[in-house]
Structure 1
Amino acid sequence: GARGRGRGMVLIPPQNFGIVEVDLYRSGQPHTLNFPFLEKLRLKKIIHLELDLPTDFVNWVSEQRIELVNLADVGKLSPWKPISEEVVVEGLRLLLDPKNYPLLVMCNLGRHRTGTMIGCLRKLQRWHLSCILDEYRRHASSKFRLINEQFVELFDVDLVHVPQQCPEWFRPLPMLRAA
């Protein structure tokens, strides 16, 4: 069963779950057995990057009083196209607002759309591209897509307005300027 010797329920994270930063998480689409795990995170907001929203998930989000923001890129939905620049910019706007935390970013499997969004966040944090791609590939495993990696590499961070008040963990490294 799901119970261990009097210690309560076994907590099962959703597929591809990961901690991105303090109170910022990523995952694939949760199933009913993942809900107790997610409840422990006390999520305030979920950014969903897919059109398909299972009814049990929508009901659970409502019961938990979590704000669900669906940024599914309706016009360009195709498994082989990366999410659009507009979706990433809007997602990053939400990620940079400390009022939205704790926060979960998710898509169907937690690989491609979520990986692209987090990759662009890392670029905004001035991570080295090889480190960004390592993180993307850890979650995408053998299913990584070069088109998503190229999207992150070419993403223009100047499109993102960085507010005065950001989450505590967000400290982008200063740009190195030539003398």
Structure 2
Amino acid sequence: MSAKYVPPANFAPVEQHLYRSAAPRPINFPFLKLLDIKTIIWLNVEDPSDELLDFIDAHDINLEHLGLLTKKVKPWDPISDKVVQEALTILMNIQIYPVLICCSMGRHRTGAVIGCLRKLQGWSFASLVDEYQRFTGIAGERSNVELLVENFSLVPLKQLLKIKANSNEPVPQWFDLHSDLE
């Protein structure tokens, strides 16, 4: 009997060795093993399931639980700029890849982080909103996510990229280091 590989809901590659999805379930674990995931950026306010925590421990995966950065937040509250900033800063560390970014359904919180990454990469606002809306499905878009992405300040991230470039510290190649880093 051959193994079955089932990706998590809303799974998609974002860039080389960077993936997005809904919270993985046990049926998805063989698929994640194929990707050799080393880090999971968890954007939910709630803790991961016990099964996922066991999988993470068994496979020496680093869990970045960014949902804990926000106190007294309800699961349906929008993601904060602080959480997005932290997620993108973590993504600049080339040593943690391959990475999976996820939230409960892989839509809004994950979409906000990916949208801000795309903004940092110089994507047009229309293109990044189109990508975001492809993952919202029948749930529809949330205008507060689009507003967060539109108003998200790239200045601290560009400064960090400039520092890394000046110190020859490697970052994933798909970060646009040739853009205006001022």
The 8 Å contact of residues 120 and 176 in structure 2, kept in 1 or not, is answered as no
Task: State whether structure 2 residue 40 is matched by structure 1 residue 46.
Answer: yes
The 8 Å contact of residues 126 and 172 in structure 1, kept in 2 or not, is answered as no
Shift of 1:79: 4.5
Task: State whether structure 2 residue 174 is matched by structure 1 residue 169.
Answer: yes
Residue 152 (structure 2) aligns with: 155
Task: State whether structure 2 residue 15 is matched by structure 1 residue 18.
Answer: no
The 8 Å contact of residues 41 and 102 in structure 1, kept in 2 or not, is answered as yes
TM-score by length of 2: 0.88
In 1, the alpha carbon distance for the partners of 2:119 and 2:107 equals: 17
TM-score by length of 1: 0.89
Q: Which residue type is aligned with residue 78 of structure 1? A: K
Count residues in correspondence: 171
Q: Post-superposition, which runs of at least 4 consecutive aligned residues in structure 1 deviate over 4 A?
A: none
Shift of 1:77: 2.2
In 1, the alpha carbon distance for the partners of 2:95 and 2:138 equals: 36
Q: Which residue type is aligned with residue 149 of structure 2? A: V
Q: Which residue type is aligned with residue 149 of structure 1? A: E
The 8 Å contact of residues 12 and 34 in structure 1, kept in 2 or not, is answered as yes
Residue 50 (structure 2) aligns with: 55
Shift of 1:11: 0.6
Deviations 1:115-144 (A, max 9, x none): 001100000111000000001001112321
Deviations 1:6-25 (A, max 9, x none): xx212100010010000000
Percent identity among equivalent residues? 39
Shift of 1:80: 4.6
Q: Which residue type is aligned with residue 82 of structure 1? A: P
Compare 89-98 and 79-88 and name the one that shifted more.
Answer: 79-88
Q: Which residue type is aligned with residue 132 of structure 1? A: L
Deviations 1:69-94 (A, max 9, x none): 10004325235532111111110011
Shift of 1:145: 0.4
Shift of 1:171: 2.0
The 8 Å contact of residues 61 and 67 in structure 1, kept in 2 or not, is answered as yes
The 8 Å contact of residues 126 and 173 in structure 1, kept in 2 or not, is answered as no
Deviations 1:33-91 (A, max 9, x none): 10000000001111001123100000000001000110004325235532111111110
Aligned-residue Cα RMSD (Å) equals: 1.8
The 8 Å contact of residues 124 and 172 in structure 1, kept in 2 or not, is answered as no
CA pair 138-57 structure 1, distance change in 2 beyond 3 A: same
Higher fraction of helix: 2
In 1, the alpha carbon distance for the partners of 2:121 and 2:138 equals: 26
